[in-house]
Structure 1
Amino acid sequence: MAEQRVHRVTAPLSDEAVAAIRAGDRVLITGIIYTARDAAHKRMVESLERGEPLPFDPKGAVIYYVGPTPPKPGQVIGSAGPTTSVRMDKYTPAVLAQGVKAVIGKGYRSEEVKKALVQYRSLYLVSTGGAGALLARQIKAARVIAYEDLGPEAIRELQVVDFPTVCIHDIYGGDQYAEGQKAWKLA
């Protein structure tokens, strides 16, 4: 297995930053990322089908599949762990086509999404499930920007510093899950 590299990137992501990342690399994100889960994705795609823009600038954007819990007094945000990505699979290609350069979640992706990641030169990153309270520490500011009626599933703009992820699918068709399974079978 190749040596794991660490990339520190600023969101929104440049094409050059995305091109340097390979499946298996660690990626620490600083900058602005957006939250969106199933209900928000459904609305975004419906808006696109009506010819309306997304509620944020998609060029180079990073979307985090999360529905954070309410913050306690003195907190910026509550627990903010990733949700299962497969629920967004039917919407992901349409969103990537708008210029989104990375999505963050957990779990496997469909073949259609893997192909779309290569086609639109985007990354699939994962963060550790069950570590929502720890991940929330990397979020320095949060504000709802769209679909407030969805509560935790509203689209939020998050300001993050060194938000920890691992690249699972890169723009070259690399698949860290497949590599890990091969390595496990060889052991």
Structure 2
Amino acid sequence: MKEYTLTTSELKNAAEYLEAGDTVYLSGTVYTSRDAAHKRIMKLIEDGKTLPYGIDGAVIYYAGPTPTPEGLAIGSCGPTTSSRMDVYAPKLLDMGLTAMVGKGPRSAEVIDAIVRNRALYFCAIGGAGALASKCISDCEVIAFEDLGCESVKKLTFRDFPLTLAIDARGNSLFK
């Protein structure tokens, strides 16, 4: 297991050498999305409408940050259980999604889509959302504001600590 400091734009190429169990300190643009936002994004895709951000090359963080305290970039921002998004993930991966960040195992269908698309699945530490928020320097709601904490937010990660749970070859820490 190795440690890397990478940007989101480097992940697609890094997928060739990263291995399950590696630690990555990730910087760059990441989008939050949970159940309700995923459902709306899929509806936009089905209807051929414009998405709130480009899926190709994107990184999604399965998180619903708490309200932002005054003077901070974001409130507590820990991961949510990724398996709830398994019904949506294969389609998004086939559209070019580079990586997902969450917690817990993924379905066989998601792992197959990860391998097929040379993508990555990272886990963040559950229960450490307040600490994780210190690695986020900017937060902007970009879609579905009516969903509150589940709105889609554009985040800027700064050396956000992650563990690669499923690599581009399908190797998994959960097996």
The TM-score with structure 2 as length reference comes to 0.96
Deviations 1:51-99 (A, max 9, x none): 2243112222110000000011111110000000010000001111111
1:52 equivalent in structure 2: 49
- Pick the aligned partner of 1:91 from 73, 88, 93: 88
1:114 equivalent in structure 2: 111
Count of residues in correspondence between the two structures: 175
CA contact (8 A) 1:78 1:133 kept: yes
1:72 equivalent in structure 2: 69
Q: 1:1-187 residue pairs with structure 2 within 5 A? A: 4-178=1-175
Between the aligned residues of both structures, percent identity stands at 46
Structure label with greater radius of gyration: 1
Deviations 1:25-52 (A, max 9, x none): 1111101100000001111111111122
Off by >2 Å, runs of 4+ in structure 1 = 12-15
3-state secondary structure, aligned to 2:125: coil
5+ long unaligned stretches in structure 2: none
1:173 is aligned with what amino acid?
Answer: G
Deviations 1:124-164 (A, max 9, x none): 10000000000000000000011111110010000111011
1:105 is aligned with what amino acid?
Answer: G
5+ long unaligned stretches in structure 1: 179-187
CA contact (8 A) 1:23 1:169 kept: yes
Residue 120 of structure 1, CA deviation: 1.3
1:48 is aligned with what amino acid?
Answer: I
Q: Structure 1's 45 and 13: CA in aligned 2 closer, same or farther, altered over 3 A?
A: farther
